[in-house]
Structure 1
Amino acid sequence: MNPADFQAWRQHMGMSQRAAAQALGVSLPTLQAWERGASFQTGKLVEIDRRTALACAALAAGIGEWAAIAEAQPHRTA
């Protein structure tokens, strides 16, 4: 996920930067760095890790936290 994709996700979700940061469990400056693609303080490039990209996909799909999902579905055995 690149910065443009991340910003497009946030806008698609109709979230402010603050709301998106809260939903992902990160600070506002972290989210802003992801959208810029670089740290404001150092100017170093920042990457949006795979876990964050997957969390964005889960939120877009309406999937909540694991505990809520696990309780709602019966346990399957192979």
Structure 2
Amino acid sequence: MKPEQFKAWRKALKLKQKDAADLLGLKKRMIQYYEKGDRDGRKVEIPKSVRLACYAITHGVQDFDGETPE
């Protein structure tokens, strides 16, 4: 996921940076770094866990209790 895709995801869900941070379990500052694509001049990668969480949130998953279907 590229920074512009991450920002587009947030905006498509009509989330403020703080709201996205709360849903993803992150600080607002990390959302800003992910959207910018760098932190203090160094490239910031969006972790796979965050990308998967974005996908889950998009599909209505707000939490996972660890139970698997039988």
Percent of counterpart pairs with the same letter?
Answer: 33
Larger radius of gyration: 1
Residue in 2 that maps onto 1:26: 26
Residue in 2 that maps onto 1:47: 45
Report the aligned-residue RMSD: 1.5
- Write the mapping of 1:1-78 to structure 2, written as runs, cut at 5 A: 1-39=1-39, 42-67=40-65, 70=67, 75-76=69-70
Q: C-alpha distance in 1, partners of 2:41/2:13?
A: 28
Structure in which a larger fraction of residues adopt strand: 2
SS at match of 2:7: helix
TM-superposed deviation, 1:43: 1.4
TM-score normalised to structure 1 length: 0.83
TM-superposed deviation, 1:14: 0.5
Structure in which a larger fraction of residues adopt helix: 1
Q: C-alpha distance in 2, partners of 1:43/1:22?
A: 26
Give the unaligned 5+ runs of structure 1.
none
